[in-house]
Structure 1
């Protein structure tokens, strides 16, 4: 997941995890984008910027950087005409990047810092940055100077950058009267606070269920050993991912699975009922003030898809295409359930993962527990580093003495030969008050010859300790996915302008590069480089991988329909006047329309669905990007997954340009043609 906070007027405004965008270079742009050998090392020496200082240091760095950014915009506005385009745009770009980086490190601290006081200070900093960004976005003086810049003779990336910035200003209401702009600023302040409240209520609501030890029957031995009974004789299982997913997959007791499933789907309740309603209402108020019929209409306009109507049509297209696969999947699960319960008439949602695992074991000869010993966390991490190093011609230098904000975090500098490209931080294990899913955040923007990109990966994988940290294969796939975002940020962080660097592409393209990298979690030629038994060191057998891939075909239709349920929820909450909207009733309706699973009363999935803030109406992004990702993968299928040649072409055409071109152009530069639907259809139909 690419972690985005969509604030007020700039759907591309990123706080918490960078905005959106990607591309391919023209010869001139490529030459300008090459980084200077004298580029500074990441971050410098300010401990507050490393998130390792005191609360006071963090607050002071926030204040200073906001002030520097404001001074930069003031100098930009004061430039006398005629203005040198490169000089003027340099001022604007540096000030914009400084605000984005201040927001980025604040969001990272908010979502992962162990000190509650610093987390609160970071939330406050995010609000301050958002307020200043809203003021800039509605500053007619800034817009007028930007609009006055002469783009004749400028490279394609510069023209693209300025054109898109001007569009964003106009979409955001910069040309409205003073009273309207003041109202928009106030609404944005409220929106940011609501988004932070929504996320905090999810992050801090970790629930647990106590079970008799016998109710852990079916779970792997290492899992059981890692969860001993307490003094009351009960075993405590939490809703954190490393606890929850294996339990849902392996626990034989349907009653136990249901209990944990229900706890998981009550996170955020009741606090987020009101928070979410206010968040939706505030966005609708902003959209209508800007002249749009809904927030969904506003937020889709600058995406590849262009409109909420097109998004709805896409959701229905995928829903129809997956109907037969979904029915076949459900029928297979129901048939398996009837082996245990002959009178069963429905599959419950807490049955799905367990029954899928049973069908895969019994009908496809694939035992998912049997592969866990091959996916020990430290080996998987090294495998991801080694594979991407070989593919993209880069190396990772571990930094054991790097300043980090929690002992679990590992840092690496990324090199191409002797040239430093940037720094990555891996924050991979769960802890209290940390972000609960998997996402990548930008810590520092990259700009050729001036700054180097830095990114943070936040996941919740098992932690090495007394027991080996054995991962499920789905965790491995997630690791590759999120690392794809990290690579996009680092390799794309050397453009002429920070404003088009890395993942600053259209938001509904931003998942495609990371989804494509998931393919390396499935191929023998990549898997067998690191998937070795943690005790015997034997590689994961080729025939096991083949069975794993065949077994993965089961459940694909249900997974796609579940994604369409999420996408439809995201769109439905935001594509109409929310007055009178009952979010819980809407969830019930949509779940039963898009999936075969009945809604379970007194559950509130939507209240812990963090995408309803960061992605708002555009969750369809994931499937839209997947259609593109499947086509991006076709050259690798032909030339070889471990062949650096297509990887280098892909790096140059898609990852490195950042947002210098429209995403569709980037893809065409790599494929030599427009992307199509055929590769996705082949994947969906298992052909």
Structure 2
């Protein structure tokens, strides 16, 4: 890709442009690979040919993945799905090409720097993991499986993305919800109100609606997304991944996918899940007892807390025991002010500036583009696609558009979120939505700062996958800091700053519910790991999910629900959902430095930027963390957080 807005033009254009660009990227990559295999010369020149050939593919593949999840036109999304499939075929061909492997292995790295050696050694290992050294028949079947898996994953994702469900309830079911929410959901001609399973609808509803019956109805709908379409799709996904792993000499897909992560093995991942679940057991019991006591205040005969009670009862406990009213915070978190405040905080901490680009082509009128500069030099570009719409990715994530490379191209990326949209009513965020915004922005700045490495192959967020959440989880800490929030959180009507005492109540209230949160995360992690850790011929996914729910989850199985069919991480993350908690252990340790030096200390933030974010994947993540901490990371800070 070339030209200032080339990626954005493709993202905002029609299917024909994307198809042509895909063909051009594939031709560039193939030609580069053939040059690399035939070329002779200095190691750096040879490696640059190899690096750029792969970058031609990966940049368009990443962009197509974003387009498939964000573009409002079905024809363009379909073309993006096809582009991903075509590019992945070529990438698979390269990964199984023994001539490429031999040419790379033959390069003399005697005079190479540490980053180059690390990149080449890691790349050679990935070739071997892909099966490059297997016989012809094995490589042919690997190729077939890799191509099939792309389509299966797309089907799984599409079935979730397109399955927005709607509950029809009486206006009285909105009792307890904020006034702006009620006004945004007027009754229809039949006198009934429609509430969807999209996040801006369901999260406030489950948190504030006083009607347990209405909460249960919407919660059940949410748990049914992807059903029944994804039953067969998920079975195929698990079966094909198991076949691929065993074909490559591994006992399971879980072992294959954990081998090159920080954790190292499926057994270590299982041990980690069990360790965290055990540590959280005491907190879980106390949390559930508190919720049941609160539920009995409304229903003296209540015998248990149901999952649709969780958010509502936690909110009530926080209001009544900690004097924290989550609705009282919402007027201070108007979406545009939060956005400007987060950008301002990033500028202050990391020495960058954001400049709106009104001239950038965008794929939807909601999307905003910003240049990112440091010291007056353009270092990246970001796109914010922050509000829900039909057929758009319905979670929150950062998507790569361009992987940067020092002296060659700047990194670009997009945030796809589903936060309330400003309109006739101001878009007021809950605190957890503010945290989501900060979290995803953490991924964004990681991608931008890491987009200036010597080799594209180690640029961007290319470190071990079980580290990638740590920088984003770290940035969430600033949403609990009164001086930080005072920089932008003001009442949207009165202009009054967010009172520091309200933040202190928030911090106290946030201590409650950790046991439930951690055990829920460990349930997700166990489902993710175990369905890929076993031979799919030996178990039924729905039954295994029920067993794991009984062992790990804070709430028992609800018959007739199918949460795993809309658990999108089972495709992208596959067996490694544990990475969120693994990364949180590291993030809590990283945060100890900021607690000591000050959350608004730009010198500390700059050192963190340079030591942890900017290197991207040019060194093992543990080494980057050690460079910042001055020691190996430990479990201590996480344990202190969980037990506080």
TM-score range for the pair, normalised by the shorter chain length: over 0.9
Aligned ranges for residues 285-364 of structure 1 at < 5 Å? 285-364=243-322
Q: What is the rounded CA distance, in whole Å, between the counterparts of 1:49 and 1:596 in structure 2?
A: 46
Counterpart CA distance in 2 for 1:531 and 1:248 is: 25
Mapped pair 1:457 → 2:415: yes
Q: Which has the higher helix share?
A: 2
Name the CA distance, whole Å, in 2 between partners of 1:684 and 1:222. Answer: 35
Q: CA deviation at 1:51?
A: 1.4
1:368 corresponds in structure 2 to 326
Measure how far apart 1:417 and its partner are: 1.8
- Aligned twin of 2:32: 72
Pairs within 5 Å for 1:524-603: 524-603=482-561
- The reply on whether 1:419 has 2:408 as its aligned counterpart is no
Query: Residue 229 of structure 1 contacts residue 236 of structure 1 at CA under 8 Å; is this kept in 2?
Result: yes
How many residues align structurally? 644
Superposed structure 1 runs of 4+ greater than 2 Å apart:
42-50
Q: Structure 1 residue 238 and structure 2 residue 238: aligned?
A: no
Matched residues in 2 for 1:577 and 1:553: separation? 40
Once residues 47 and 355 of structure 1 are traced to their aligned partners in structure 2, the CA distance between those partners, rounded to angstroms, is 46
Specify the alignment match of 1:63 in structure 2.
23
Following superposition, the deviation at residue 43 of structure 1 comes to 4.8
Post-superposition Cα deviations, 1:139-191, rounded to whole Å, max 9, x if no partner, equal 00110011011111211111110010000001111000111111100000100
C-alpha displacement of 1:48: 7.2
Aligned position for 1:3: none
**Other-structure match for 2:469:** 511
Q: 1:584, CA displacement in angstroms?
A: 1.4
Distance 1:46 1:257 in 2: 45
What TM-score do you get using the length of structure 1 for normalisation? 0.93
Matched, 1:654 2:612: yes
- CA distance in structure 1 between the aligned counterparts of 2:5 and 2:518, rounded to whole angstroms: 46
TM-aligned CA distance change 1:51 to 1:593, over 3 Å = same
SS in 1 for 2:381: strand
> 2 CA distance for matches of 1:52 and 1:455?
14
8 Å contact from structure 2 (residues 5, 360) kept in 1: no
Report the Cα distance in structure 2 between the residues aligned to 1:404 and 1:48, rounded to whole angstroms. Answer: 6
Greater Cα shift, 55-64 or 344-353 = 55-64
Q: State whether structure 2 residue 13 is matched by structure 1 residue 53.
A: yes
1:315-341 CA distance string (max 9 Å, x none)? 000011111111110000000000011
1:438-459, CA deviations, whole angstroms, 9 ceiling, x for partnerless residues?
0001100100000100011000
Task: Give secondary structure in 2 for the equivalent of 1:51.
Answer: helix
Q: Equivalents in 2 of 1:343, 1:56: separation in Å?
A: 63
Does 2:560 match 1:607? Answer: no
- Does structure 1 conserve the Cα–Cα contact (< 8 Å) formed by 2:262 and 2:466? yes
> In the alignment, what sits opposite 2:134?
176
What do residues 7-35 of structure 1 show as CA deviations (whole Å, max 9, x unaligned)?
xxxxxxxxxxxxxxxxxxxxxxxxxxxxx
Q: Deviations over 1:646-666 (max 9, x none)?
A: 100001100001111100000
Q: Which residue of 172, 175, 191 corresponds with 1:217?
A: 175
Could you say if the C-alpha distance between residues 155 and 273 of structure 1 is closer, same or farther in structure 2, counting changes exceeding 3 Å?
same
Q: Give the Å deviation of 1:45.
A: 5.0
Match of 1:633 in 2: 591
- Unaligned residue ranges in structure 1 (runs of 5+): 1-39
- Mark the CA change 1:664 to 1:48 in structure 2 (over 3 Å): closer, same or farther: closer
Is contact 2:412–2:448 with CA below 8 Å preserved after alignment? yes
5+ residue gaps, structure 2, are none
- In angstroms, what is the RMSD of aligned CA positions? 1.0
How far apart, in 2, do the equivalents of 1:588 and 1:684 lie? 26
Q: CA deviation at 1:581?
A: 2.6
- Higher relative CO (Cα under 8 Å, sequence separation at least 6) belongs to 1
Give the TM-score normalised by the residue count of structure 2: 0.99
Contact 1:48 1:61 in 2 (8 A): no
- Deviation at 1:98? 1.3
Deviations 1:562-604 (A, max 9, x none): 0000000000100010114321112211112112312111100
